[in-house]
């Protein structure tokens, strides 16, 4: 975990993307966490993971409700 003060972020803005890679940086202001900074690539990867997890959760709820189809029904529906 990278933790840096706001002044570091301001003075190193041009090189932050290369420095971070896929690891987020927690930015502090007056000793308190203020921001989390991450590259755009890392942000999009995180969003994709969250969307995938939402699909898994929805699928699990469908199974618990019995809202399922057998394989032959599935194939005939596509």
pLDDT digits (tens, 9 = 90+) for 18-27: 888 889 999 9
Contact criterion met (CB below 8 Å) for 43 and 21: no
pTM of this structure = 0.69
Residue pair 37/9 in contact by the 8 Å Cβ criterion: yes
Q: What span, in angstroms and rounded, lies between the C-alpha atoms of 39 and 59?
A: 30
What's the CA gap between 70 and 3, in Å, rounded?
50
Q: In whole angstroms, how far apart are CA 20 and each of 33, 39, 68? A: 17, 7, 43
Per-residue pLDDT tens digits for 39-70: 999 999 999 999 999 999 999 999 999 988 88
């Amino acid at each position: 975990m990278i933790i840096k003060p706001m002044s570091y972020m301001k003075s190193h803005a041009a090189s932050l993307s290369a420095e971070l890679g896929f690891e987020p940086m927690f930015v502090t202001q007056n000793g308190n966490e203020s921001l989390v900074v991450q590259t755009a690539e890392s942000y999009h990867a995180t969003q994709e993971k969250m969307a995938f997890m939402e699909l898994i959760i929805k699928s699990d709820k469908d199974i618990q409700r019995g809202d399922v189809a057998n394989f032959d029904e599935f194939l005939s529906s596509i």
